[in-house]
Amino acid sequence: MFDFSIVSTWFDSLLQLTLGLPSWLAITIECVLVGLLIIVGYALLAVALIFMERKVCAYFQCRLGPMRVGPWGLLQVFADVLKMLIKEIFFVDKADKLLYALAPILVILGSVGAFAFLPWNNGAVILDFNVGIFLYTAVSAIGVIGVFLAGWSSNNKYGLVSAMRGAVQMISYEMSLGLCLITATILTGTMQVSGIVDAQSGPFGWLIFQGHIPALIAFFIFLIAGNAEANRGPFDLAEAESELTAGYHTEYSGMGFGFDYLAEFLNLFIVAGMTSLVFLGGWCPVHIGVEAFDDVMDLIPGIVWFLGKAFAMVWLLMWIKWTFPRLRIDQILKLEWKYLMPLALFNLVLMTVCVAFNLTGIIFIGYAVAAVIIVVLAVIFARAMKFKSQFKQDQQLVGIDLAIKKDK
């Protein structure tokens, strides 16, 4: 598999050896280019996620979604971005103007910082520290401060209620999220992002396939807790339109609202990406121990594997959002403090015992889990195809009805 560190090493030697630049200037240029790469990738990914959200929502509601601006509605998001950029940014009377302006920056800062820890490919991890998982949890928590300040500083009662809800929800579910990450690091023996991926590179090497029951439990808890921390449905109580209009960003317009909206979708992808990193092997392909099959899988670039797994998790989380009704605040906190966190803590102790006494080689469970997942995906695909066929028939019937009414 291609190692992207070769590219960075070549570029560094080009600046210092070929062009003769001093080391401090070469490092500065590299940092600027990496920062630009993060921002551009962040923006393009957000555009793709917003378009995907609208299409998935339309699919579940038997609609077509954006179809007017550009072919198949592909330019609709760009039109919305343009509209948002030209909107006026104003400050509410009696609002704390400094904190009001700072809040969206903190929200987007936490999201961009966490985005830099994602493992795109071998040698393509931007922030690959030996305590990377620990730093990821610290950086991603910055967004909580921004959410609270946005609601508190805007001098809006709905914004304040939303900020309190969002802060208590995000802080609560970070507990389960952190315990699941610790569970995975105990099994892999490292907190480094690339090290966790490398530990899953063997046949059936992904953590959910290795036969570790605690790893499988941690996977489901992490998915639920990550969805809640990203304020996605059915945990989107901080932005409950029927109760709080737009929640903590009710008083924001222009790019102040745009930063919050952007961070919501990128936090969704970050949760999906970290799920792929910790439990689904990151950039590692599927290996089953058969040389011919494994060689074919190795031909697929690692970045394709990572993006495929991440977008599969994104689709799953969107499916959950548009399927389940919104929970109340007492139900959300009860789920975390009475069920998820005690289970995650017990699961952490169980994983520690399994690793300490070398009870982690139950490979047949890995095969069973793989078989169950394949069957579930096959059933979902079959039902989706059946639903798509029915949807087309419904569209044809609607078109016939409209034509009849038009003729009349």
Q: What is the mean pLDDT of the chain?
A: 81
Residue-wise pLDDT for 332-382, tens only, equals: 888 899 899 999 999 898 888 888 887 755 544 555 665 666 677 677 767
pLDDT at 66 over 70: yes
Nearest of 184, 191, 181, 200 to residue 128 by alpha carbon: 191
Residue-wise pLDDT for 215-232, tens only, equals: 888 999 999 999 988 888
Q: What is the pLDDT of residue 269?
A: 92
Provide the residue ranges of all domains of the chain, joining segments of one domain with +: 92-361, 365-408
Cβ contact 76:51 at 8 Å: yes
- Lowest average pLDDT, out of 135-139, 218-222, 242-246, goes to 242-246
- Lowest average pLDDT, out of 65-69, 198-202, 242-246, goes to 242-246
Q: What is the pLDDT of residue 222?
A: 93
What letter does residue 245 receive in the DSSP assignment? T
Q: What is the pLDDT of residue 146?
A: 86
Band (402; pLDDT cuts 50, 70, 90): very low
Band (398; pLDDT cuts 50, 70, 90): very low
Q: What is the pLDDT of residue 274?
A: 92
Q: What is the pLDDT of residue 313?
A: 92
